[in-house]
Structures are given as C-alpha cells and as structure tokens.
Amino acid sequence: MSEDIRLANGGWLVVADGAKALFLRNEGDKKFPNLEVFREEAQDNPPTREQAANRPGRFNDGPGAHRSALDDTDWHQLAEDRFARDLSDILYRQAHKQKFDEIVIVAAPAVLGEIRKNLHQEVADKVIAEIDKDLTNHPVHEIEKLVLHSQG
C-alpha cells in the first residue's frame, strides 16, 4: 500500500472517516514505528433519513397542475463535510503550536478530498503522505502494519 512512507519519531498519523478521527503519534522511529493513539474525535451522524423532518418539497412548474419534486438535503453528507472541515481546523491549530513536523493523513476518499480542500498551507507543508482508505475501524497494530510496515 505505501512502500516509502517513513514517519519520524513524534510524527503524526491521522485516520479519519466522516464521523471519527484517530490521532496517532509515532513513538518509535522511521525503521521501527510504534503508533499510539493520543486523541480521538467523533460525532454522531445518523443517516439522512433519520435526520430529515419532512418529505422532499415540491414546486409548481407554471400554469396547470404539474408539480416537480425537489431533492432533499443530504444531512449526513453535510455533517461529514463539516467534520472534515473541523478536522482541518484542529490540524491547523496543532501545526501552529508546532505539535508535529510531519503528518500522514489516511481517510475515506470523500473525506480526504474535503480535508485537502480545507487544509491550511501550514499543515499542507507538513503532509508527507495521503492515503485514500477508510481504516478507522481497524486496530492500531493493523493501521501501523498497513501504512508504515511495508518498508521491508
């Protein structure tokens, strides 16, 4: 998956989907990484059908009885996008405090796109790798193996 990702001691690895993010720090070194979770962010984000209060609206197309349906708001997607923006803000604040020198971001493809779109330059300059996979429900040792141990 990632043969050349070598995260230095103290480097961060963030694993995220649209509702959960794990912040891991490499307590080992580039050759023998040892990831430890030091922060977790989560939000409750039920499916849109459980968040919507009404049926989709309708509007009149003009004279006569013909009416067209309007698309309903995708509340679930909006919440995922907001979570990704919030995550970008957290990373900016931590980078500004110089809490990390390098970072690897692993996120579900749509979430990674939203994070990337909102990432401040100060954080973007510290990103050494991005992986578009959802690994949030994997145990830490598997994340470590999948992301950092394929060096050989």
- For 4-33, what is each residue's pLDDT tens digit? 799 999 999 999 998 999 999 999 999 999
**Domain assignment of residue 47, yes or no:** no
Q: Which residues contact 145 (CB under 8 A, 6 or more apart)?
A: none
Over range 82-93, report the average pLDDT: 95
Q: Whole-model pTM?
A: 0.79
Per-residue pLDDT tens for 29-67? 999 999 999 999 987 755 555 555 555 555 555 566 665
**Which stretches within 38-133 are classed as H helix?**
48-51, 75-96, 109-118, 121-124
CATH number of the domain within which 114 lies: 3.30.420.60
**Domain assignment of residue 127, yes or no:** yes
**Domain assignment of residue 38, yes or no:** yes
Over range 79-97, report the average pLDDT: 94
**Domain assignment of residue 124, yes or no:** yes
Domain span at residue 140 reads 1-42+77-152
Q: Which helix (H) or strand (E) holds 145?
A: helix 140-147
**Domain assignment of residue 49, yes or no:** no
Q: Which residues contact 14 (CB under 8 A, 6 or more apart)?
A: 21, 22, 23, 24, 87, 91, 103, 104, 105, 106, 107
Among candidate residues 41, 24, 18, the one with its CA nearest the CA of residue 145: 24
